[in-house]
Chains A and B, each alone.
Chain A
Amino acid sequence: MKKILIIDDDEVFVKTLQDFLPKEKYETVHAKDGVEGLGIIDKDRPNLIILDLLMPRMGGMEFLDDLREKKLEKEIPILISSQLSKIEDISKAIVAGMDIGVKGYIIKASENLDMIVSEIEKTLEKYSA
């Protein structure tokens, strides 16, 4: 059973993704922002993080910086998710987080839930420990 941490303040996205992910294979945990997300990582290490960029209190970029500080022994694979349609904006985050586990990205508005789920599964297959 793989544990997926979704850090996002978009309740519709979180709920629909949670419902779409097969419950037999995946356990999902939800954090509203970066602060909550960091707390969850400390307590119970997930196998994959889906990280949104625009959140109140602590956004995605700040979360990546704080995660770097933690100096985890083994990196957790991260997928950046965003409503932003411009690749340039997302690529900034990818480049910034490449050294601590960012493996790819999801563009929410352009991708169907099944596409998103297959990408999650691919990433888990490739980078799981």
Chain B
Amino acid sequence: MDFLSLFSLIVLITTLVFFVAVFLFLKNLKLKRDIKIKEIKVEERSKEMDSKMYELAILKELGDRVGYSLDVHQIMDVITGSLHQFINYSAVSYMLLESDKILFKIHLEKSVHRGFINEVRDRMLKSLGALLDKEFKENQVEELISGAILIEEVNAPVESFFNIPLVIGGKVVGVLTVADTQNGLYKENEMTILYKITNQASSAVTKLQEVVTNEKSKLNAMVLSMSDGIVMTDLDYKILVINPAARRALSLDPMKEVTLFDFIDNLGGKFDIRGRLEESVKLKKEYTSERILLGEKFFQIFVLPVKSSSVMGQESITGGVVIFHDVTSEVEVETLRKDFTSMLVHELRSPLDGVKKISEVLKNKKITQTPESYDEYIDLIYRNSSGMLEIVNDILDVAKIEAGKFDIHKKEGDFIKIINDRVNFYSITAQSSNITLKSFFGKDIPEKVMFDSEGVEHILNNLISNALKYTNKEGLVEVITFLHKEGASLPEEAKIAGYQSVNSIPLDLGQGTFITVIVTDNGIGIEEENIKTIFSKFKQLDTKNKVPKKNGTGLGLVIAKGIIEEHGGSIGVVSKIGVGSTFYFTIPLS
């Protein structure tokens, strides 16, 4: 190779190397720049994420703190207290609409002059007015300033201003503002955060309000429908809650607004509601009254303090509640029971006293007795003692029936004979009152029937003697016995056997085949309200009417029912005043 070619080659290679070096260098540069850009981006991203996380954390905390309170002031204070973590400002402030004024609270991060505050206030007032389409005056505003002190020399005006409305439950309740002396501070970022926070607060409060309203209406519905009367008052004895039952108990108008005075008036001094409420509220006392008669009903009245626990867990008395508990039925039962007992006592005491007085006479040597008089006394002793024994036995039987320990002894016997026996026994009594006593028998009554003859005798004695007692002279008492076949019509069968009264026998007295006995009369009849209790030991005692008091314990029918039920049969009565009564009972054939 010659020198020239070698030189050219070297130059070429060197140039090539040079270009490659430059190329590589440039590439490196670009790479470095790209990396830098990426690094910056990553850093930015990471910062953004940090900030977002921080934001979320703060929002969550705000949400937590705000979500349990309906006190808008508290909420606003919480918000304004934590805003400085996101946003720069000289002052953060809020305006809230109250019923009679506008609350303006402004917190200064940095010192400003009076004019700054005034401007913030005026701008907020204007925006509030615009939102609500109203005009608000300066004198409606109540101002509260906190934070850094006012320094008149720091007279920088408002350069940055951002304002957000507060909406709760769909209504504008106020505005939230941040303001600064520096220009251009509130850009998209800051605005977004403010929107987020206030939205969070709004929806939390709105949701809470909904929950409260729901719970309130549930509670309302419950209180409204309660059968006990409820009245709740606050510490000033103003009525907060009153349900229909309370209005009814005190005979108050169902619609009109009532005050405690209406209660005091209608209680008529029977109960010191004001005094008891005061004791309840001031001394935390619970009170239970005796039975008090209001109108036609008896009530037991309870007065209790209303305690409420605040968020801090402290208990405070917020008012009192008065409950009117209707005890009328309990009183009625007790009265019936008392009347029943005193009736029994009376029924026993009379004959007992009679026997005692007879002994007094017979003991007295000074009184001479004729044989007739003597015989009469012996007879009276016998009758009165028998009467008492009967009463005592009846009481025992009823006690056994109630305890479920009443036994009957069924034996095979002649049913028709028992009926005839009893009718004959009472024929003398019937004759003496000029009452016709007849008996009728249907066909196919079995010769032998399983039944408790003593029990059935007892029932017949009771029904026939009652019929005779409650039927006037020239009246008619009939005893009709027949066999009821399964599926047949009872009224028809009764008619065929001889039953003629207008009182209609029930169609259905049970399944199967059974013997039916009807004791019917054309006497004075039984009042409808008395029919309901006629087979019970507690009867409506007839003290108001002038109807003559027919003595007796009235337990006979209770025992009759017990006997029939042990047989598996049924017993009942149909009656009409002035027409007569028809008693019936059934004995099933086993």
A interface residues, Cβ below 8 angstroms from B: 10-13, 15-17, 19-20, 54, 56-57, 83-84, 108-109, 112-114
Report whether B354 and A13 are in contact in the complex, using a CB–CB cutoff of 8 Å.
Answer: yes
Chain A residues near B27: list those with CB within 8 A: none
Complex-state Cα separation, A15 to B380, whole angstroms = 10
Leading 4 A-B pairs by shortest Cβ distance: A12-B354, A56-B548, A16-B357, A109-B353
Chain A residues near B376: list those with CB within 8 A: 15
Report whether A20 and B361 are in contact in the complex, using a CB–CB cutoff of 8 Å.
Answer: yes
Report whether A12 and B364 are in contact in the complex, using a CB–CB cutoff of 8 Å.
Answer: no
Report whether A113 and B349 are in contact in the complex, using a CB–CB cutoff of 8 Å.
Answer: no
**Looking at the complex, which one of B350, B360, B549 makes contact with A113 (CB distance below 8 Å)?**
B360
Distance (Å) between the CB of A81 and the closest chain B CB?
Answer: 11
Question: What are 26 pairs between A and B in contact, CB < 8 Å?
Answer: A12-B353, A12-B357, A12-B384, A15-B376, A15-B380, A16-B354, A16-B357, A16-B360, A16-B361, A17-B357, A19-B373, A20-B360, A20-B364, A20-B367, A54-B549, A83-B346, A83-B349, A83-B353, A84-B346, A109-B349, A109-B350, A109-B352, A112-B360, A113-B357, A113-B360, A113-B361
Distance (Å) between the CB of A28 and the closest chain B CB?
Answer: 14
Question: In this complex, what residue of A is CB-closest to B380?
Answer: A12
Any A CB within 8 A of the CB of B531 = no
User: Count the B residues whose beta carbon is within 8 Å of the partner chain — how many?
Assistant: 23
Chain A residues near B346: list those with CB within 8 A: 83-84
Complex-state Cα separation, A56 to B354, whole angstroms = 19
Distance (Å) between the CB of B551 and the closest chain A CB?
Answer: 9
Distance (Å) between the CB of B469 and the closest chain A CB?
Answer: 11
**Looking at the complex, which one of A10, A17, A57 makes contact with B350 (CB distance below 8 Å)?**
A10
Interface residues of B in 92-150 (CB under 8 A from A): none
> From DSSP, what is the main secondary structure of chain B's interface residues?
helix
Complex-state Cα separation, A13 to B310, whole angstroms = 76
Any A CB within 8 A of the CB of B358 = yes
Distance (Å) between the CB of A33 and the closest chain B CB?
Answer: 9
Chain B residues near A108: list those with CB within 8 A: 353
Complex-state Cα separation, A9 to B31, whole angstroms = 134
Interface residues of B in 339-382 (CB under 8 A from A): 346, 349-355, 357-358, 360-361, 364, 367, 369, 373, 376-377, 380
B interface residues, Cβ below 8 angstroms from A: 346, 349-355, 357-358, 360-361, 364, 367, 369, 373, 376-377, 380, 384, 548-550
Chain A residues near B369: list those with CB within 8 A: 19
Chain B residues near A57: list those with CB within 8 A: 548
Complex-state Cα separation, A83 to B384, whole angstroms = 16
Report whether B358 and A16 are in contact in the complex, using a CB–CB cutoff of 8 Å.
Answer: yes
Chain A residues near B550: list those with CB within 8 A: 56
Chain B residues near A15: list those with CB within 8 A: 376-377, 380
Chain B residues near A114: list those with CB within 8 A: 360
Question: In this complex, what residue of A is CB-closest to B346?
Answer: A83
Chain A residues near B357: list those with CB within 8 A: 12-13, 16-17, 113
Chain A residues near B352: list those with CB within 8 A: 109
Complex-state Cα separation, A22 to B101, whole angstroms = 100
Chain B residues near A56: list those with CB within 8 A: 548-550
Complex-state Cα separation, A13 to B358, whole angstroms = 9
Max count, chain A CB within 10 A of own CB: residue among B352, B357, B384: B357
Chain A residues near B351: list those with CB within 8 A: 12
Distance (Å) between the CB of A27 and the closest chain B CB?
Answer: 16
Distance (Å) between the CB of B384 and the closest chain A CB?
Answer: 7
Question: In this complex, what residue of A is CB-closest to B349?
Answer: A109
Complex-state Cα separation, A112 to B351, whole angstroms = 15
With contacts A16-B360, A20-B360, A113-B360 taken as known, whether A11 is within 8 angstroms of B350 at the C-beta atoms is no
Question: In this complex, what residue of B is CB-closest to A109?
Answer: B353
Complex-state Cα separation, A83 to B351, whole angstroms = 11
New contact pairs (9) apart from A10-B350, A13-B357, CB-CB < 8 Å: A10-B354, A11-B380, A12-B351, A12-B355, A19-B369, A20-B360, A54-B549, A108-B353, A112-B360
Question: In this complex, what residue of B is CB-closest to A116?
Answer: B357
**Looking at the complex, which one of B350, B361, B364, B549 makes contact with A83 (CB distance below 8 Å)?**
B350
Chain B residues near A13: list those with CB within 8 A: 353-354, 357
Complex-state Cα separation, A23 to B358, whole angstroms = 17
Complex-state Cα separation, A56 to B546, whole angstroms = 9
Max count, chain B CB within 10 A of own CB: residue among A20, A57, A112: A20
Chain B residues near A112: list those with CB within 8 A: 360
Complex-state Cα separation, A56 to B360, whole angstroms = 27
Distance (Å) between the CB of B473 and the closest chain A CB?
Answer: 15
Report whether B358 and A12 are in contact in the complex, using a CB–CB cutoff of 8 Å.
Answer: yes
Complex-state Cα separation, A15 to B350, whole angstroms = 14
Question: In this complex, what residue of A is CB-closest to B373?
Answer: A19
Chain A residues near B355: list those with CB within 8 A: 12
Chain A residues near B380: list those with CB within 8 A: 11-12, 15
Chain B residues near A113: list those with CB within 8 A: 357, 360-361
Chain A residues near B367: list those with CB within 8 A: 19-20
Complex-state Cα separation, A10 to B548, whole angstroms = 15
Chain A residues near B360: list those with CB within 8 A: 16, 20, 112-114
Question: In this complex, what residue of B is CB-closest to A23?
Answer: B367
Chain B residues near A10: list those with CB within 8 A: 350, 354
Complex-state Cα separation, A16 to B359, whole angstroms = 9
Distance (Å) between the CB of B142 and the closest chain A CB?
Answer: 69
Question: In this complex, what residue of B is CB-closest to A19?
Answer: B361
Complex-state Cα separation, A67 to B364, whole angstroms = 36
Question: In this complex, what residue of B is CB-closest to A54?
Answer: B549
Question: In this complex, what residue of A is CB-closest to B357?
Answer: A16
Complex-state Cα separation, A84 to B380, whole angstroms = 22
Complex-state Cα separation, A11 to B377, whole angstroms = 11
Distance (Å) between the CB of A119 and the closest chain B CB?
Answer: 15
Distance (Å) between the CB of A88 and the closest chain B CB?
Answer: 13
Question: In this complex, what residue of B is CB-closest to A57?
Answer: B548
Chain A residues near B364: list those with CB within 8 A: 20
Distance (Å) between the CB of B237 and the closest chain A CB?
Answer: 39
Distance (Å) between the CB of A56 and the closest chain B CB?
Answer: 4
Question: In this complex, what residue of A is CB-closest to B345?
Answer: A85
Question: In this complex, what residue of A is CB-closest to B377?
Answer: A15
Distance (Å) between the CB of B530 and the closest chain A CB?
Answer: 18
Complex-state Cα separation, A57 to B351, whole angstroms = 21
Complex-state Cα separation, A22 to B549, whole angstroms = 33
Question: In this complex, what residue of A is CB-closest to B368?
Answer: A19
Complex-state Cα separation, A15 to B549, whole angstroms = 22
